[in-house]
Chain A
């Protein structure tokens, strides 16, 4: 069995061919592949029209590398939630057209659930049931994952996602984009206890939510002072930048690790799976490893190439297909986060 999976929820256009036993036959991510000539030399970064230009070459390339033709595809999977409406539509319309053309079933994939499923793909063994934590630029959510097709939302950010907080703090500190790696790099020379930044909800065991907006603002006050609107004029010594970065990173990591372990305790589930771009953060990986070991929880973190958006994690569709969960052609996109 071959499943063609498509991913167009945000900035990336990606396609992968995965078999029924979860072997990855090909994986193409537009921004990471040297396919510029196929896109007339231009790879725009954002928005639906960019997906329109890239989706067909990306599908072609995924089929070519998998050494299969359209007739060899047994189902087409597409991430239809959450994301930017116009971007989601490009993937969905492409998937529907292929389903009609080859007369094969359509499978819907929740992009955030797929980030957790990346851990299943990487570990090569069943990881369910588990607690799932997705941390990226756009999401910071915790799930109770009974099965690959049965995810229950436990909590998430009520304002900024963790990755967004990293990017904005990097900008305030004059560090380059993307902010995650930049903050993490300078934090290595800093003191994690130099500043005591807020850890929203960390001591509130009644909820599994995050809030990073207040933390971002607290960093701002540390840099510029409480009533100072002029952030750009504040030149900080390198040592202070490192201390702020390290203290900020520790506050984010405390919240993520704390709530993930709270979820494991409360649900009694033996395994924690972590995916999304922020799961690439070294300090987060280290703290998760230390504290899950102490708590006797089995930890799976997506490898770096499956942390950022990709279509391999759309292999979640194989499980849905086997469970008989296919869609008809009335399937729509759901841009917002589904809380179920």
Chain B
């Protein structure tokens, strides 16, 4: 497991994290997004989608439709567990097919369906620290993602610092 912290002071910084993740994450990555209402989970997915060449206005909050899929330079599956009663309902959406595909699968409110997630995953915990300030805690589980996080750390520069080796 590897952990780092990235301090975003503005939406531009969040966009930068999206770009870095779009370039560093290997195919088949599952990203578990956690953070309170309005912390910017969907916003980070939109940043990542934009970096994959997906036009603005296509990457929308999946809270009601439960799962969106976007096709750009990379394919993204975008789940949202906010409205789900339990993990069984999540499994009924067919996420395992997405985990097994070469796409990036992003799951908002992933803490609600934690036991359904693949062991190898990137966890992103978002904390509100100011009006546009967000602290992103990134946790890579599995060797491939630990290497990807090392790559990401180099690109993110001084706004990020390692937490745990």
Residues of chain A at the chain B interface (Cβ within 8 Å) = 10, 44-50, 82-86, 136-138, 156-161, 163-164, 167-168, 171-172, 209, 213, 216-217, 219-221, 226-229, 231, 335-337, 339
B37 pairs with A228, CB closer than 8 A:
no
Asked if B120 lies at the interface with its beta carbon under 8 angstroms from chain A, I say: no
User: For the complex, what is the distance from the CA of A50 to the CA of B65, rounded to whole Å?
Assistant: 15
Count of inter-chain pairs, beta carbons less than 8 A: 106
A120: min CB distance to chain B, Å = 24
B129 with A227: CB separation less than 8 A? yes
Cα–Cα distance between A221 and B132 once the two chains are bound (Å): 11
Write out the residue numbers on chain A whose beta carbons fall within 8 Å of the beta carbon of B127. 229
Partner pick for A160 among B42, B66, B67, CB 8 A cutoff: B42
> Are A46 and B83 in contact (CB-based, < 8 A)?
yes
Q: Are B56 and A158 in contact (CB under 8 A)?
A: yes
Given A159-B42, A229-B36, CB of A46 within 8 Å of CB of B84: yes
* In the complex, the 6 A-B pairs of residues with the closest C-beta atoms, listed nearest first: A138-B64, A47-B92, A220-B38, A217-B38, A137-B64, A160-B61
13 additional A-B residue pairs with CB within 8 Å, beyond A85-B67, A164-B63: A46-B89, A49-B92, A83-B65, A84-B93, A85-B69, A86-B92, A220-B38, A226-B130, A226-B131, A229-B36, A229-B39, A335-B65, A335-B68
Question: CA of A82 to CA of B67 in the docked complex: distance in angstroms?
Answer: 11
Partner of A158, one of B36, B57, B133: B57
* A167 to B61 Cα, complex, angstroms: 13
Contact B38–A160 (Cβ < 8 Å): no
Asked whether A160 and B60 contact (CB < 8 A) given A46-B92, A168-B37, A229-B127, the answer is yes
Residue in B36, B61, B70 whose Cβ sees the most chain A Cβ within 10 Å: B61
In the complex, the chain B residue whose C-beta lies closest to that of A167 is B63
A138 and B38 contacting across the interface, CB-CB below 8 Å: no
Distance of A82 Cα from B62 Cα, bound (Å): 12
Q: In this complex, what residue of B is CB-closest to A140?
A: B60
Contact B64 A163 (CB under 8 A): yes
Contact A221 B131 (CB under 8 A): yes
* 21 contacts across the A-B interface (CB closer than 8 A): A45-B89, A47-B89, A47-B93, A48-B93, A84-B67, A86-B92, A86-B94, A157-B60, A159-B43, A161-B61, A163-B64, A164-B61, A168-B37, A171-B37, A172-B37, A217-B38, A220-B37, A220-B38, A227-B130, A229-B39, A337-B60
Q: When the two chains form their complex, are residues B69 and A336 in contact, meaning their CB atoms are under 8 A apart?
A: yes
Q: Which of B37, B40, B93 contacts A86 (CB 8 A)?
A: B93
Whole-angstrom CA separation of A131 from B3 in the bound complex: 51
Find chain B residues with CB under 8 A from A228 CB: 128
Q: Given known contacts A158-B57, A213-B61, is B84 in contact with A335 (CB within 8 Å)?
A: no
> Does any Cβ of A come within 8 Å of B58's Cβ?
yes
For window 44-82 of B, CB contacts with A under 8 Å fall at 46, 56-58, 60-61, 63-70
Task: Name the A residues within 8 Å of B68 (CB-CB).
Answer: 335-336
Taking CB atoms, residues of chain B closer than 8 Å to A163 are 64
A157 to B42, CA, bound (A): 13
Which residues of chain B are within 8 angstroms of A161 by Cβ–Cβ distance? 60-61, 64
